Chains A and B, each alone.
Chain A
Amino acid sequence: MQEVELQDILTSREDGDYIINIGPQHPSTHGVLRFVVSLKGEMLDYVIPHCGYVHRGIEKMCERLTYPQIIHLTDRMDYFSAHMNNEAVSLLVEKAIGVEVPERVKYVRTILSELGRIASHQLWWAAFGMDMGALTCFFYGLRDREKILDIFDESFGSRLLHSFICPGGLMNDIHPNFQKRTKEFIKYFRKKLPEYDELLTGNIIFEQRTKGMGVMSRQDAISYGFTGPCGRASNFACDIRKKYPYSAYDKVDFKEILFDEGDCWARYKVRIAEMWESMKIIEQLIDNIPDGDYTAKMKPIIKLPEGEYSQRVETAKGELGVYVVSKGEKNPYRMHFRTPNFNNLFPISQLAAGNKIADLIAISGSLDLIIPDIDR
């Protein structure tokens, strides 16, 4: 697919090329993202995404920070999968130094990741429903997400950016109420998730707007690096939790959700099914958290031996890869984050071209993009 050169468009466009900007401030691009869209009537000719509005230079900053300090930066990349981002860096450091974390830590990390996954998907559902026009979905999704955020607030002191998982284990032990509240939440959410189906999934208007829309074939998904729920909707089995299990994922039994169609409807169903699977995982772990230390013994200054290290983790949006080149010092020489949203954004030019504006909103909602993750 040839990317259209912006200069060419502006200089050689024909009459009838009606170019509008969607964003960077727009109610439905979730974050600061700009789409340059060319319209022919109601049909889209081409869509060019422009990112970089939230580029903070995280990779450059990491070269001056120590590994425990980098945890706080990773929180802010994909803030809905904060736990999973922290886990990626922590696992990398522990693997490089050769430290074995206690079992308790592994269990808690997995439970936190799955709670984060449910919270992320809840917010995705809320925002997607709102974009489609069913404004009530926003409140139902956020109402249920507040329960998870209350658990986080009580245990870690903050609702969104916790920096709780650090190299060696956890920052502190879990709150005594954590297990009880998580179990209450699971019981509550099992009753509420069917409501989501009643409100949006079963609605014929919604089905018509998402079925057959933005189809991504499996070949293209692999070539684009289209991972996460989006990739699994195109039958690309990319779940890192299954391929290279880490933490306690090898001890739990859960399904990897795959669909064939690759359209917005399949991406929607994958995420709803993933919420059920995450609840199953949490239920298998929450009662069996082994006793023990909440952290392994680590030196006060963490220096990675010289060499290159990598770690891949499954966040709520897809595969996050952390790659470190170390020269034996306490700061990494080069740190690179392969973020899932970066690879999930660019196919939109191919998916949305030839559809209508309303479909652009539907497609970009189903991709579940978090812009700070793209820009880092």
Chain B
Amino acid sequence: MPFNIYDFSTTTKAIDTFLKTNMSPTWAFVTELAIVGLIILIFYAIIGLYLVYAERKVCAFMQNRVGPNRVGKWGLIQTIADLIKLLMKELITIRKADKLLFNIAPFIVIIASFMAIAAIPFAKGLHAVDFNIGVFYMMAVSSIGVIGILLAGWSSNSKYSLIGAMRSGAQVVSYELSVGLALLSVVIFSGSMQLSTIIESQANGWWIFKGHLPAIISFVMFLIASTAEINRGPFDLAEAESELTAGFHTEYSGIRFAFFFLGEYMNMFIVASLAATVFLGGWMPLHIGNLEGFNHVMDFIPPIVWFFGKTIFVIYVIMWFKWTFPRLRIDQLLTLEWKYLLPINLVNIIVIAFIVLMGWYIK
């Protein structure tokens, strides 16, 4: 099996031809779907587990302590132990809770993030679903997650959960606007919504550099708005432990709670990888215009390492926010969006459109 770390399409083509020669085209397609689904599932689980571990370690170092370090070397097996514990916990059924909705809610959250991961370009040739409306698809699919949150809060039959879910619903729906507009800025710059095209267009420099000031503004807006989208950091009112004891997922136990928990971290990964793809070049190494020597040196590092490096950087920034800032109140949160972020975003979009028309950016 040919394996080229710089271009995974050799491997995928080899598997494809192998399957097509041995089975009918439909069966080959089904098998490919199954393989991709399995890989993404495993990837999801592993990344989820290790993001939780990373958060605990980063948080610990910021708080002047060590974090998990007993279970396995450096505490690496800690999350696996936690997962096993959660799997073995009793699934408490709530009296008078709406059973169907109560059980479906965590699955909706997981399905939404799962669908979004499918569209992320991990490396050249390692892109599961390459829609020509890639950006639009990712936004649309991550919006489905809010249904899961609302259902969870409603069906728990508890006042605290309901308050948390309502707050969260209002917050996510508001901040989707800012996320969309911030992503739209790069769509205008690159002229396409297809993620692979956006990445290819960054071959001579990342959009955050090529699009100078408006792109930087968009990047900052995107970071703020997406932290609010995923209910994290200074915007985690929905699960403010010190006020409403875990908000909308108070009543969930065992593996259902694990789904919400994992879903939150995977949403963080999705948002970070979207930021990395659209603003920081995805798997494209850092190229500076036409400096051949510099670009050649940068090309030595495999694209997949570039992608994960950028994503991890953005994840670190998001974690940094959470452990430094106090929480915003719900009305301050919504004020921030509707009175500050949205107008700035709209003005920014108009400026970018003008810039693109005039050609005042690095093409």
Question: A residues bordering B, Cβ < 8 Å?
Answer: 18, 20, 26-28, 39, 42, 129-136, 138-140, 143, 199-200, 203, 205-206, 208-209, 356-359, 361
Contacts and interface: CB of A to CB of B under 8 A. Distances in A.
Interface string B317-330: 00000011111111
Contacts of A26: 245
Contact of B237 (A134, A208, A358): A358
B332 A209 contact: yes
Contact of B323 (A136, A359, A361): A136
12 contacts: A27-B241, A39-B163, A42-B163, A42-B330, A131-B242, A133-B327, A134-B327, A143-B64, A205-B326, A356-B330, A358-B330, A361-B243
Contacts of A20: 159-160
Nearest to A358: B329
B329 A135 contact: no
Contact of A135 (B63, B159, B167, B328): B63
Given A28-B243, A359-B329, 18 more contacts: A18-B159, A27-B245, A129-B326, A131-B242, A132-B327, A134-B325, A135-B63, A139-B63, A139-B64, A140-B63, A200-B326, A203-B325, A206-B326, A208-B328, A209-B326, A209-B328, A357-B163, A357-B244
A215 B52 CA distance: 41
Contacts of B64: 139-140, 143
Most buried by B among A20, A26, A135: A135
Interface hub of A136, A143, A361 (most chain B Cβ within 10 A): A136
Chain B at the A interface: mostly helix, strand, loop or mixed? Answer: helix
A134 B243 contact: no
Contact of A205 (B163, B240, B327): B327
B234 interface: yes
Nearest to B322: A135
B332 A208 contact: yes
B46 interface: no
Contacts, number: 79
* Residue among B65, B324, B331 with max Cβ neighbours from chain A (10 Å): B324
At the interface, is chain A mostly helix, strand, loop or mixed?
helix
Interface residues of B, number: 28
A357 B326 contact: no
Nearest to A208: B332
A206 B65 CA distance: 24
Nearest to B242: A28
Interface of B: 59, 62-65, 159-160, 163, 167, 234, 236-237, 240-245, 323-332
B321 to A, nearest CB: 11
Contact of A358 (B236, B241, B243, B245): B243
Contacts of A131: 242-243
A136 B160 CA distance: 25
Contacts of A359: 329
A205 B65 CA distance: 25
A39 B243 CA distance: 14
B132 to A, nearest CB: 40
Nearest to A20: B159
A368 to B, nearest CB: 16
The 7 closest A-B pairs by CB, nearest first: A133-B327, A132-B326, A139-B63, A134-B326, A28-B242, A358-B329, A133-B326
Contacts of A356: 329-331
A205 B241 contact: no
Contacts of A130: 242
A130 B59 CA distance: 14
A45 to B, nearest CB: 15
Contacts of A143: 64
A18 to B, nearest CB: 7
B189 to A, nearest CB: 31
Contacts of B236: 133
Nearest to A42: B330
B311 to A, nearest CB: 24
B338 to A, nearest CB: 16
